[in-house]
Amino acid sequence: NAGVTQTPKFRVLKTGQSMTLLCAQDMNHEYMYWYRQDPGMGLRLIHYSVGEGTTAKGEVPDGYNVSRLKKQNFLLGLESAAPSQTSVYFCASSLTRTGRTDTQYFGPGTRLTVL
């Protein structure tokens, strides 16, 4: 059981370039999330998904798009990267969204730098 995995672990982009971050989970979780963490701060929700084929905006969605074509995968895309998107990105998944089983389990993170 790998849990939640993220690729890549590190990436450096130039302003205006695009990229996709991949998150995969093998726990058969229904819900998946993308967060960003800026220095000295807690995590902020970018987008989330409540099931295959569905996505919704979180707290800071601008500049990002997501897709959930398969239940186990959740992709985060940056179409035109900006220096303000330099951050550490975390993916998480949970079995449910309420009750004790809504605990979110996190991937190891992707450190993105936009020059």
Partner 1 sequence: AQKITQTQPGMFVQEKEAVTLDCTYDTSDQSYGLFWYKQPSSGEMIFLIYQGSYDEQNATEGRYSLNFQKARKSANLVISASQLGDSAMYFCAMRGRAAGNKLTFGGGTRVLVKP
Q: Are 104 and 97 in contact (CB under 8 A)?
A: no
Point out which span in 12-20, 65-73, 76-84, 85-93 binds partner 1 (CB under 8 A). Answer: 85-93
Q: How far is the CB of 97 from partner 1 (least distance, A)?
A: 4
Q: How many CB atoms lie within 10 A of CB 60?
A: 16
| Residue 26 interacts with partner 1 (CB under 8 A): yes or no | no
As a whole number of angstroms, the distance between CA 21 and CA 7 comes to: 6
Contact 98, 78 (CB under 8 A): no
Does 61 interact with partner 1 (rule: CB under 8 A)? no
# of chain residues touching partner 1 (CB under 8 A): 26
Compute the least distance from the CB of residue 14 to partner 1, in Å: 24
Distance CA 13, CA 65 (A): 17
Query: Least Å distance between CB 8 and partner 1?
Result: 14
**Out of 34, 64, 89, 90, the residue judged to bind partner 1 by CB under 8 A:** 90
- Residue 59 burial by CB count (10 A; 0-12/13-18/19+): exposed, middle or buried? exposed
Positions that interact with partner 1 (CB under 8 A): 33, 40-45, 48, 58-59, 88, 90, 92, 97-100, 102-109, 111
